Amino acid sequence: MVSTKESRLVTLEEYIIQSQNRFPGATGELSQLLRDIGLAAKIISREVNKAGITNILGYDGSTNVHGESVKKLDLFADQQLISALDRSLITCMVISEENDGVVKLGSKGGKYIVYLDPLDGSSNIDVNVSIGSIFSVYMREPRFDPAVREEDALQAGVRQVAAGYVLYGSSTILAYTTGLGVSIFTLDPSIGEFILSDRGIKMPEHGAIYSINEGSYNSWDEGLKKYIKYCQEEDSETNRPYSARYIGSMVADIHRTLIKGGIFIYPHSKRYPKGKLRLMYECNPLSFIIEQAGGMATDGQTRIMELQPKAIHEQTPIYIGSKKNVQTVMEFLEEHATVEQ
C-alpha cells in the first residue's frame, strides 16, 4: 500500500475543510454531510464498544426488507445516521438496508441522496468480530417539482459524489473518497476525533489473498471453481498458493483487500442467482473506494459502477480487489462461460 503519512495531527473536520477550500465556489454542503456522518460514526462506535455491558446485543425481533433478522445495533446505527443527516437539511432522502422504501427527510429541497448500510456484517456483533457502516452519496437531479421520488435515487455508481465506510475493529477507522483518492482516518477515543492516518492510498496491483465463502463451492459456475483451484495450486513464480481469508463482514474484508491487496468475491449461485450483496449501498460505494485506490470491481461481465439500477435494493454478484487478481478471475469466467454455452 502506498500512502502519504502526515507529520502533524489533522482532524477529519480540518481535512474536509482544507479539501473544500481547493474548489472555488464550493458551498460546503457536501463537507457538512461528511461531518454529519463522522459524528454519527463516533456515536455508533461508542455503542459498539460497550455493547457487551449494555442491553443492545441480540435481535430486535423484526426483519428487514431482505427477510434478514434485525439486531438491536442495526436499528441503533440506522437511527443515528438518519438523524445526523436530517439535522443539516441538505439531504432530501435516505435509502437504508433497514427500511423497505425511501426515507424522506425534513428538507425536500435538499440536494443530496444518501444510501446506507448502517451496520454491515451484523451477524458478527454477538461474537465481537469487526463490523462496519457503508455510505454512498449522490446528487439529486435539479427540477422545479420539489417532490421526492424513488426514481431520483436510481443512479449508476459512476454518479456518486462521495462514498466511504467506517470499520469498528481493534480501532475505529473511517475511509472515504470524493473522487480525488482515498483518505483514511482513525478515531482517537481520548479526544473524540477522527485523525488522518493515510491519504492517497494505492493498493497493490496484485495480492496473494482471496476472500470468498467456500462453503458455497458446489453452487458456483465452473469458471469460478477453476479460479479457486488456481488460487490453491502451488506455483512459486506467481506466489501461489494464495491465503484464504473470509471474515463475513464485507467492510472488514474489503478494508484488508485495500491494504494488502488480493480479491474479494461474492458470486451468484444456485441459492442467490442474482447475487446476494446490494448494489447501491454495498457494492457501488466500496467499488468507488477500491477503484480510487487503483483496483477493479465487476459483476463478472460489467464494471460494477456502470450498472444501471432498476430497484433501490437491487442485488448483484461482485468480484473486487487488486487489478491483476480481478483480471485473472475474469479470464477464467470468460473461458468457461464459452465452454458451458
Residues at the binding site are 97, 117, 119-123, 213, 246, 276, 282
What is the rounded CA–CA span in Å between residue 294 and residue 322?
7
Q: 243: closest CA among 214, 209, 212, 213?
A: 209
Q: Which residues pair with 240 in a beta bridge?
A: 235
Contact 29, 137 (CB under 8 A): no
State the pairing for strand pair 209-211/263-266. Answer: parallel
- From residue 76, alpha-carbon distances to 43, 94, 189, 240, 253 in Å are 10, 16, 20, 43, 23
Contact between residue 247 and residue 253 where contact means Cβ atoms under 8 Å apart: yes
* Distance from C-alpha of 270 to C-alpha of 194, rounded to nearest angstrom: 42
Q: Which residues pair with 186 in a beta bridge?
A: 173, 195
Q: Grid coordinates representing 295?
A: 483496483
Residue 11, burial from CB neighbour count under 10 angstroms (0-12, 13-18, 19+): middle
Alpha-carbon distance of 27 to 165, in angstroms, equals 24
Q: Which residues contact 127 (CB under 8 A, 6 or more apart)?
A: none
Note whether 163 and 140 are within 8 A (CB).
no
- The cell numbers describing 284, all together, are 457501488
End-to-end CA separation in angstroms for the chain: 40
Residues flagged as binding site for substrate: 120-123, 213, 246, 276
Annotated binding site for Mg(2+): 97, 117, 119-120, 282
